[in-house]
Amino acid sequence: MINLALFLTVLVGQTPAPEKGVIEIDLQKTPSASPTLTVCGTCPRRSLREAIEEAPPGAVIYVLGGVYRESTLVIRKPLTLIGEDGPVLDGEGKFEILVVDSVDGFQIRGFTLKNAGISFTEDQAALKLKNSQNCFVEDNTFLDNFFAIYLENTHSCVIRNNRVRGPGRTESFSGNAIHVWNGYNIWIEGNHLSYHRDGIYFEFVRDSKIYNNVSENHVRYGMHFMFSEGNDFARNVFRDCGAGVAVMYSKHTKLRQNRFEFNWGGASYGLLLKEIDDTDIEGNVFYKNTVGLYVEGSNRVFVRGNTLEKNGWAIRVLGNSMALSFMYNNIVGNTFEASSNAGRSFNTYLHNYWDGYVGYDLNRDGYGDVPHRPVRLFTQLVEQYPPAVILLHSPLEFLITYAERLLPVLSPSVIEDDRPLMGRIVWSKSKDSSNDTDR
Amino acid sequence: MTGKIARWVARDVLRSIWLGLYTFFFLIITLSFFTFFDDPSRVLLSLLNLVLMVVPLVSMIFVLTYLHNNRNFIVLTLTQPVSRRSVFWGYWWGLAIPLQLALLVGMGLPVAFHLLAHRALWLASVLQVVGAMLLTQIFLGLAIWLSFAHEDRLKALASGLLVWLSLTFLYDGLLLVVILLASAYPIEKFAVGLSFLNPLDLVRLLLLMQMDVAALMGFTAEVFKKFLGNAVGTLAAVTALLIWIAFPTWMAFRNFMKKDF
């Protein structure tokens, strides 16, 4: 409700011409709903803890600049916390900072929360929201926390334009930037997340939107989710994380126009899918990852219109995946185009542009006349006998690949594109679906 | 005296049209790679493939044919009051310097100019040129040895090609067979050990370890890096390459000293 009031204030400021069927609310005539309290170092009220205790439900607490070391603050009523001139809440490396418990309607904006303590027995967070709903976390900075934003059994929240920077410690000494356990209708937008264990971590999360975030330099995953359904990820960047992005045991997910890039290391994946069903992966860019797209045990995944460029392996599909549809993708400049451990494939590969294709197009319809087999003999050898990779870029590898060209029968046919495109696909701006994410 | 002969041989070799073509070939290829590929690592990898195939072959064939064409002149030199020792080293240096110069001009110069503008991958770039020079020296030694070991020009050429084929393809083929046969065992350390025995594999792996592609090689790369990371490993790699230069040269020298022309 508070959101709505604020939103309307902004609208009323512009006084739009009334239209038919639109109810006009003049906020000047409505009673001011929220009592306000102010906290600052020189004010009568210096303690945020006292302010929280005194405030009636629905109050707005303004906190002015300064450092507040007040161990753990627990909030059990609807409140709006507004930081002015960058107040800092310091957990001193020991405490959780803000815990919001069983609240319907909570807002926080303009704060810096730092140094939430490490714990090996519980998930200590800078901002923990549990059993709550209708919350709004905007324009805050989170620095060097164990967990930063932690939602537990919480739904209908907006987490927007926060800057979250972790301490960059090892896996067991750092928590996640945004952690959601059991929630739905969460909107995560425009955040910048870095140096935590996982950037975005979801477990049992439904019907949420994750748009325009940048998640980079994390110790483990840029994004990690499990047992989550109906989520929509669009225009996010997942960059330079220890293990890339891993999503598991989930259904009905949309991943559109994200960038998965520079996830480079011995066990890094641009996007790892494990037991993911009925999912759309469209218009993403996979750039310079050790493995661009890894698919294991997944069914009915539609991979369309993506660009996979300069990865070690562009795609790696295990044999336990079925009804995967891989169409209209650009596969350019990868060391290995595709790899699979399967003897035969139950997936569809069609109309992709493979820059390793050496076929021809006699009837000039834009599609190659002979099928493309992106799994090379050497790739297959490496898949079955990993130590054989010691021959990478050797003259022998060159010889094997050249022999395949002369005798195509040598190429494994586990992945085959019957009608590969002759030229790289360029998507026109009008087809850019940046405007059709449902808002 | 060695210097005098070396200077004379070098001047003669430098006049060869084939050496000019070799230099020009590398110059054109390296420059065009730098022009057409935006990614320096792609340039290095393409160059690496070329270096591994072309440099050993050209060094081998060039030296073999030069020595056989000049066989009569070598014999004539030996009738003069010059020691066999200085004739041998004269030819060794006289052949090595122009071949190395060809590489330095053909590949070293473009790489150096590129490095002035872009610092990315400088170690790998330097390794690329140094690796090519080491391979030249190795195959030069092998060629001199084979040339003095075989009286017959065709036999010498055939054995030279055979050595080149073995080191370039056959050895790696056997390595692959070993890996396939022993797939049930943790073979990575053994495979890395075997790669130390072939200079082409060693140069290739040393270069790849400096580049991003090392991540694709997973555990094998880790084993290699770990071994190279300590002093023993680095010493072993340098020693292996030096032995590959020294051993054929020493065999050739021994052969030359005893040979009844």
Domain CATH code at residue A65? 2.160.20.10
**Chain centroid to CA A333:** 25
Q: Check whether residue A184 and residue A292 sit in a common domain.
A: no
Residues of B in contact with A381 (CB under 8 A): 176, 180
Asked whether residue A438 is domain-assigned, the answer is no
Alpha carbon of B177: minimum distance to chain A alpha carbons (Å)? 9
Domain boundary residue, one of A212, A242, A272: A242
Cα–Cα distance measured from residue A241 to residue A201, given in angstroms and rounded to the nearest whole number:
14
B contact test, residue of A341, A394, A397, A402 with most B CBs within 10 A: A394
**What local confidence, expressed as pLDDT, does residue A27 receive?**
53
Residue B216 is nearest to which of A391, A392, A395, comparing CB atoms?
A392
Both tokens of A342, joined, read 């399967």
pLDDT for residue A25: 55
State whether A297 and A237 are in the same domain. Answer: no
Q: Are residues A305 and A359 in the same domain?
A: yes
Shared domain check, A291 and A229: no
Question: Which residues does chain A have within 8 Å of residue B217's beta carbon, measured at their own beta carbons?
Answer: 389-390, 392
Domain boundary among A242, A276, A307: A242
Cα separation, A44 vs A41, in Å, equals 8
CB pair distance less than 8 Å for A396 and B173: yes
pLDDT at B145: 94
Q: Between residues 137 and 176 of chain A, which touch chain B (CB distance below 8 Å)?
A: none
Regarding whether A278 and A219 lie in a shared domain, the answer is no
C-alpha angle B223/B229/B232, rounded to 5°?
A: 95
- Residue A439 domain flag: no
Assess if residue A387 is contained within a domain: no
Residue of B nearest to A382 (CA): B217
Residues 295-314 of A with CB under 8 A from B: 310, 312-313
- Nearest residue, CB atoms, B176 vs list A288, A335, A391: A391
- Mean pLDDT of the region B169-185: 93
Are A164 and A264 members of one domain? no
pLDDT tens string A31-47: 556 788 999 888 888 99
**Interval A272-314: pLDDT, tens:** 999 999 999 999 999 999 999 999 999 999 999 999 999 999 9
Which contiguous run of DSSP H or E holds residue A108?
strand A104-109
A172 part of a folded domain? yes
Residue B36 sits at the chain A interface (C-beta within 8 Å): no
Residues A226 and A257 in one domain: no
What is the ipTM score, two decimals? 0.90
Judging contacts by C-beta atoms under 8 Å, the chain A residues touching residue B188 are 387, 390
| Per-residue pLDDT, A22 | 58
Question: What mean pLDDT do residues B199-205 have?
Answer: 93
Contacts of B39 in chain A (CB under 8 A): 310, 333
Give the model's pLDDT for residue B32. Answer: 93
Please report the pLDDT score of residue A439 as a whole number.
Answer: 36
What residue spans define the domains of chain B?
Answer: 2-258
Of A266, A391, A394, the CB nearest to B218: A266
Q: Give the pLDDT of residue B218.
A: 80
**Domain-embedded: residue A396:** no
A402 CB within 8 Å of a chain B CB: no
Q: Which helix (H) or strand (E) holds A183?
A: strand A178-184
Asked whether the beta carbons of residue A390 and residue B213 sit closer than 8 angstroms, the reply is no
**A394/B52 Cβ within 8 A:** yes
- Kindly state the average pLDDT of the residues B5-15: 92
Cross-chain residue pair B172–A395, CB shorter than 8 Å: yes
How many angstroms separate the CA atoms of A99 and A124, rounded? 10
Query: 3-state secondary structure string, chain B?
Result: CHHHHHHHHHHHHHCCHHHHHHHHHHHHHHHHHHHHCCCHHHHHHHHHHHHHHHHHHHHHHHHHHHHHHCHHHHHHHHHCCCCHHHHHHHHHHHHHHHHHHHHHHHHHHHHHHHHHHCCCCHHHHHHHHHHHHHHHHHHHHHHHHHHHHCCCHHHHHHHHHHHHHHHHHHHHHHHHHHHHHCCCCCCHHHHHHHHCCCHHHHHHHHHHHCCHHHHHHHHHHHHHHHHHHCHHHHHHHHHHHHHHHHHHHHHHHHHHHHCCC
pLDDT the model gives residue A168: 83
Share of chain B above pLDDT 70, in %: 100
List of chain A residues whose C-beta atoms are within 8 Å of the C-beta of residue B179: 385, 387-388, 390
**pLDDT, position A17:** 52
Nearest CB to A386 within list B48, B195, B218: B218
Task: Find all residues with CB under 8 Å of A357, minimum gap 6, and list them.
Answer: A368, A372, A420, A422
Owning domain of residue A424: 251-375+412-429
Amino acid making up residue A85: D
A69 in a domain, yes or no?
A: yes
**Residues of chain A contacting residue B175, judged by C-beta atoms under 8 Å apart:** 390-391
Task: Report the alpha-carbon distance of residue A87 to residue A85 in Å, rounded.
Answer: 6
Is the domain of A424 the same as that of A363?
Answer: yes
- Show which of A215, A242, A269 is a domain's final residue: A242
CB of B98 within 8 Å of any CB in chain A? no
Which two tokens mark A260?
A: 């998965």
Residue A188 sits in the same domain as residue A323? no
* One domain for residues A279 and A175: no
Contact between A290 and B191 using a beta-carbon 8 Å cutoff:
no
From A387, A391, A398, residue closest to B187, measured CB to CB? A387
Please check whether residues A301 and A355 belong to one and the same domain: yes
- Which residues of A are less than 8 Å from B169 in CB distance? 395-396, 399
Residues A388, A392, A396, A397: is their CA dihedral positive or negative?
positive
A 347-386 residues with CB < 8 A to B: 381, 384-386
Q: Are A377 and A401 in contact (CB under 8 A)?
A: yes
What is the domain count for chain A? 2
A142 shares its domain with A111: yes
Per-residue pLDDT of chain A (439 residues; tens, 9 = 90+): 445 444 444 444 444 554 555 555 555 555 556 788 999 888 888 999 999 999 999 999 999 999 999 999 999 999 999 999 999 999 999 999 999 999 999 999 999 999 999 988 888 999 999 999 999 999 999 999 999 999 999 999 999 999 999 998 887 788 999 999 999 999 999 999 999 999 999 999 999 999 999 999 999 999 999 999 999 999 999 999 988 999 999 999 999 999 999 998 878 999 999 999 999 999 999 999 999 999 999 999 999 999 999 999 999 999 999 999 999 999 999 999 999 988 888 899 999 999 989 889 999 999 999 999 999 999 999 988 989 999 999 999 999 999 988 888 888 888 999 999 999 998 776 544 444 444 3
Structure tokens at A286: 């996979």
Cβ neighbours of B42 in A, within 8 Å:
333
Interface test with A, best of B139, B176, B185 (most A CBs within 10 A): B176
What single letter denotes the amino acid at residue B79? T
Pick from A265, A385, A393: CB nearest B180: A385
